[in-house]
Chains A and B, each alone.
Chain A
Amino acid sequence: MVEHLTRVIVGRNAPRSGDLVRALASLGFAIREEPHRMVADSSTVEAREAKARLRSLGFGDRDYQLLVEFVRRWGVM
C-alpha cells in the first residue's frame, strides 16, 4: 500500500564519512553528492535494517542522519 525511501545523510566532515558512504554503497544505496553532505537513498533497504547493518560495522547512530519517507500507492484514501 506504500512505497518507501530510506535516506541516510552523511556530513562531509563527519568522522569516517568515506567509510560510511562506501558501506552504504555496498548495501545497495544510491549515493549522490551535495555541497556539504553525501545523500544515500534506497527503496529496497528498510531503515531498521540499514541501522542494524551500520551498527554491526561499528558506526555510531550519530555518525549519520536517517530519514524515512512512505508514500501511499495509487488510490489509497
Chain B
Amino acid sequence: MSNATPVALPWHRREDTWAIFISLGIVLAVTAAFFLGATRIASTTALSFPTWSGATAAKVASTFRDNPAAPLALFAVFLAAFTAAASVIGWNVAKYAAGFALLFVFSVTVTVLGSNALLKQWQLETPLLALVVGMLLGNLARLPDWFQSALRTEFYVKVGIVLMGATLPFTIILQAGPLAILQATIVAVTTFVVIHLAATRLLGLDPRLGATLGAGGSICGVSAAIAIGAACRAEKSHVSVAISMVILWAVAMIFVLPFGARQLGLAPGVAGAWIGTSEFADAAGFAAAATIGDERAIKTFTLMKVVGRDMFVGIWALVVAFLAVTRWDGKANGEAERVDAGEIWRRFPKFILGFLVASVFVTVVLTSVDSRIGTRYSTEAIGPLKTLRGWAFTWTFLSIGFTTRFRELTRFGWRPFAAFAVGVLVNVPLGYWLSTSVFASYWLAVK
C-alpha cells in the first residue's frame, strides 16, 4: 500500500459531505430559531454593514457598538463547523483554525471597505475587492503555511452554494430549470466540440487533452476538467494544463463579464444568465455575478451554472469515457473496455444534492405556513441565511485571490491556450446572444 495516495476518500471525509452537513445544519438551526422565537440568535450571527462614506464612517463603528457579539458569533459558528470538518477530513486542525482566523479578519476588512460608497461607485464592491487584495498579497508576498491551509476555495464555494439553495425557492428551479438546462446544453455542446476540434484537428493535440480542455471550457471548469480527464484516462499533465487554462480565463472573466454587462446595460437577471453561461468556474462565476450587485443576477447565475451545467458532468463523463475506450484507445483482442454507467453517479457533484434539499426544505416551510408568517420567515430567517451565504462567498473570493499565482499558471504551450481561446470566442458571444435575445424574457422574469 506504500504508493497509494489517499485520493479515493470515503464519503465522510469528502468536502462535499461536510459542505452539505454544515450548510443544511445552519438552515435547520436558523429555521428552528425562527419557530422557537429566537430569531435574535440568527440576526446576531449574520453580521452586515451599511453603506458608508467619509462623512458617515461612524455608521461602521455603530454596527460594532450596537452588536458587539456579532463578529465573534459569526467567527465562532463557522470556526466550530469548519474545524470539525477539518478534523474528520484530515486537515491539520491547528493550522487550519489559525489560518481561518486570519482569513476572517481579511473578510471583515474587505466587507467594511466594500461597503464604502465611493468604492461602490468605482464598482469595487466586496467580491472584486476580496479578489484584488488576495491576488496582490498572494503574488507579491510569501504567505505562511498555516494561513495557506485555510484557503479552501472549493470548500467555501460549496458551503455558499448549498446556502444559496435555501434562498432560491424550488418553484423557481422547477420553472427556470428546464430552460437553463436547454441554454446550457446548447452552449456546452457547441463550446466542447469547438475546443475539441480546434485542439485535435487544427493544433494536433491528443484527443484526451482536447476533451479535458473542452470540458473545462464548457461544463464546469476545474471540476469538469478533473472528472472528464479521469473518465477518458487523460494524463496528469493534460489535467494540469486544462486547470491552468480554466483559472486564467475564469479570473479574467470575473472582471470582463460584469464590466461588459454594465457597458451593454443588461438587466441583472440577464447579466446573471450570461455569466452563468459563459464563466468557467463556479467560484469565479459567483464573484462575477455578485459584482453585478443584485440578487436577481446571483439567482439566474445559479440556475444556469449549478442547475444547467454542473449537474450534467456525470453524463458528459460517461459519453467521453465511451469515446475514449472505443475511439481513442484502440482495442485489445478486438474488444474495447466496458464503460460502467456508474460513471454518472461517480462524477456527479454531490454538493448539488445539498443545494436542492435546502431549496425544497425552505419552499416546503414557506408553503406550509400562512402568508404573514411566511413573510416574517423570509425576512427573519432567509434574510440572515443570505448574509451568511455572502460571508461564505467572501472567503471563497479571498481564497481565489490568495491562491491564484500567475507565475504557476503560465507553464504550458501555446497550443492548449489557442484551443481554449477559440472556445472562449464562441462561448462568450453565444452565451450573450442566448441570454439577451433567445431566452431574455425568462431571465427577466426571475425575481
Chain A residues close to B by CB (< 8 Å): 1-5, 7, 28-30, 32, 41-44, 46-48, 51, 55, 59-62, 65-72, 74-77
Taking the closest CB of chain A, its distance from the CB of B138, in whole angstroms, is 9
The answer, yes or no, to whether B44 is at the interface (CB within 8 Å) is no
Question: Known contacts A61-B336, A77-B221: does B153 contact A2 (CB below 8 Å)?
Answer: no
In whole angstroms, how far apart are the Cα atoms of A72 and B239 in the complex? 10
**Is the interface on chain B under 10, 10 to 19, 20 to 34, or 35 or more residues?**
35 or more
A65:B233 contact, CB within 8 angstroms: no
A30:B244 contact, CB within 8 angstroms: no
Give the chain B neighbours of A43 by CB distance below 8 A: 3-5, 7
What are 11 contact pairs spanning A and B, CB under 8 A?
A3-B7, A5-B5, A7-B8, A41-B8, A43-B7, A46-B235, A60-B335, A68-B233, A74-B151, A75-B152, A77-B250
Question: Known contacts A60-B332, A62-B335, A76-B222: does B340 contact A70 (CB below 8 Å)?
Answer: no
Question: Known contacts A30-B2, A60-B335, A68-B230: does B236 contact A76 (CB below 8 Å)?
Answer: no
B4:A61 contact, CB within 8 angstroms: no
A69:B154 contact, CB within 8 angstroms: no
Give the chain A neighbours of B371 by CB distance below 8 A: none
A61:B332 contact, CB within 8 angstroms: yes
B332:A75 contact, CB within 8 angstroms: no
Give the chain A neighbours of B153 by CB distance below 8 A: 75-77
Question: Known contacts A30-B4, A61-B331, A77-B404: does B226 contact A70 (CB below 8 Å)?
Answer: yes
In whole angstroms, how far apart are the Cα atoms of A77 and B306 in the complex? 16
A75:B399 contact, CB within 8 angstroms: yes
Q: Could you say which of A1, A28, A60 contacts B243, with CB atoms under 8 Å apart?
A: A1
Give the chain A neighbours of B2 by CB distance below 8 A: 30
B229:A51 contact, CB within 8 angstroms: no
The answer, yes or no, to whether B240 is at the interface (CB within 8 Å) is yes
The answer, yes or no, to whether B294 is at the interface (CB within 8 Å) is no
Q: Could you say which of B231, B236, B329, B400 contacts A77, with CB atoms under 8 Å apart?
A: B400
B226:A72 contact, CB within 8 angstroms: yes
B333:A61 contact, CB within 8 angstroms: yes
**The 7 residue pairs across chains A and B that have the minimum distance between CB atoms:** A75-B403, A5-B7, A47-B233, A43-B5, A41-B4, A61-B337, A1-B240
Taking the closest CB of chain B, its distance from the CB of A48, in whole angstroms, is 6
| Residues 238 to 276 of chain B near chain A (Cβ within 8 Å) | 239-240, 243-244, 246-247, 250
The answer, yes or no, to whether B142 is at the interface (CB within 8 Å) is no
The answer, yes or no, to whether B124 is at the interface (CB within 8 Å) is no
| Residues 3 to 50 of chain B near chain A (Cβ within 8 Å) | 3-5, 7-8
B1:A46 contact, CB within 8 angstroms: no
In whole angstroms, how far apart are the Cα atoms of A34 and B272 in the complex? 48
Question: Known contacts A46-B235, A46-B236: does B335 contact A61 (CB below 8 Å)?
Answer: yes
Taking the closest CB of chain A, its distance from the CB of B342, in whole angstroms, is 10
B230:A77 contact, CB within 8 angstroms: no
In whole angstroms, how far apart are the Cα atoms of A72 and B230 in the complex? 12
A44:B148 contact, CB within 8 angstroms: no
Nearest chain-A residue to B346 (Cβ)? Answer: A67
Give the chain A neighbours of B222 by CB distance below 8 A: 72, 76-77
In whole angstroms, how far apart are the Cα atoms of A60 and B332 in the complex? 5
Nearest chain-A residue to B157 (Cβ)? Answer: A77
The answer, yes or no, to whether B318 is at the interface (CB within 8 Å) is no
A2:B8 contact, CB within 8 angstroms: no
The answer, yes or no, to whether B298 is at the interface (CB within 8 Å) is no
A72:B243 contact, CB within 8 angstroms: yes
Q: Could you say which of A62, A69, A76 contacts B7, with CB atoms under 8 Å apart?
A: A69
A48:B226 contact, CB within 8 angstroms: no
Give the chain A neighbours of B5 by CB distance below 8 A: 3-5, 43
